[in-house]
Amino acid sequence: MTDESTLGGYIAVHTRPPGFTGVDGGAYTVDVAVDETGGYLLFLRWDGEPPTIKGHLESEYLVRGTDESMVRAALDRLSLLDVKTTLDALIRAR
């Protein structure tokens, strides 16, 4: 059974990234980004009708490592609550 309370579990069950309402009232989706240093979360802000991307926020590296599959797996295990907390902290820090 897949745990859809985690980032990877949600994506596996719903075949799409989770959406969040930030503390600024904006609509956001999240994706995992991995580069040669590690992995972080990339939040896209949506607005309008039809929705278009109006900006983005990036977390710090949440996982360090060079093995992409291991970094992705670690980020996929993040709880959706932790992802939302990260988003709200980024919004507040702007």
Residue 47 lies in a domain: yes
Which segments of the chain are extended strands (E)? Answer: 19-21, 27-34, 38-47, 52-58, 63-64
Q: Please tell me the total count of domains within the chain.
A: 1
Residue 2 lies in a domain: no
Residues 6+ apart with CB under 8 A from 9: 2, 3, 76
Residue 1 lies in a domain: no
What do you get for the CA distance between the two ends of the chain, in Å? 38
Tens place of pLDDT per residue across the chain (94 aa): 679 999 999 999 999 999 999 999 999 999 999 999 999 999 999 999 999 999 999 999 999 999 999 999 999 999 999 999 999 999 999 9
Residue 29 lies in a domain: yes
Considering the entire predicted model, what is its pTM? 0.93
Instruction: Write down the residue that tokens 């949600």 correspond to.
Output: 10
Residue 70 lies in a domain: yes
Domain carrying residue 52: 7-93
What region does 16 belong to: left with phi over 0, alpha with psi -120 to 50, or beta? beta
Residue 37 lies in a domain: yes
pLDDT at 2: 76
